[in-house]
Amino acid sequence: SSELTQDPAVSVALGQTVRITCQGDSLRTYYASWYQQKPGQAPILVIYAKGYRPSGIPVRFSGSSSGDTASLTITGAQAEDEADYYCHSRDNSGDHLDVFGGGTKLTVL
Partner 1 sequence: QVQLQESGPGLVKPSQTLSLTCTVSGGSISSGPYYWSWVRQPAGKGLQWIGRIYTRGSTNSNPSLKSRVTISVDTSKNQFSLKLTSVTAADTALYYCARGGGNFPNWYFDLWGRGTLVTVSS
- Are residues 61 and 74 in contact, defined by beta-carbon separation less than 8 angstroms? yes
The SS3 assignment for 45 reads: strand
Should residue 97 be labelled a site residue for partner 1 when binding is judged by CB under 8 A? yes
Count of residues touching partner 1 (by CB under 8 A):
28
* Residue 51 or 81 having the CB closest to partner 1: 51
DSSP 91-109: -SSTT--EEE---EEEEE-
* Contacting residue, 48, 53, 60, 92, with partner 1 by CB under 8 A: 48
CA–CA dist 78, 83 (Å, integer): 11
The SS3 assignment for 21 reads: strand
Q: Minimum CB separation from partner 1 for residue 68, in Å?
A: 14
Among 11-19, 40-48, 66-74, 75-83, which window interacts with partner 1 (CB under 8 A)?
Answer: 40-48
Should residue 30 be labelled a site residue for partner 1 when binding is judged by CB under 8 A? yes
- Are residues 68 and 25 in contact, defined by beta-carbon separation less than 8 angstroms? yes
Which residues are at the interface with partner 1 (CB under 8 A)? 2, 29-31, 33, 35, 37, 42-45, 48-50, 54, 84, 86, 88-90, 95, 97-103
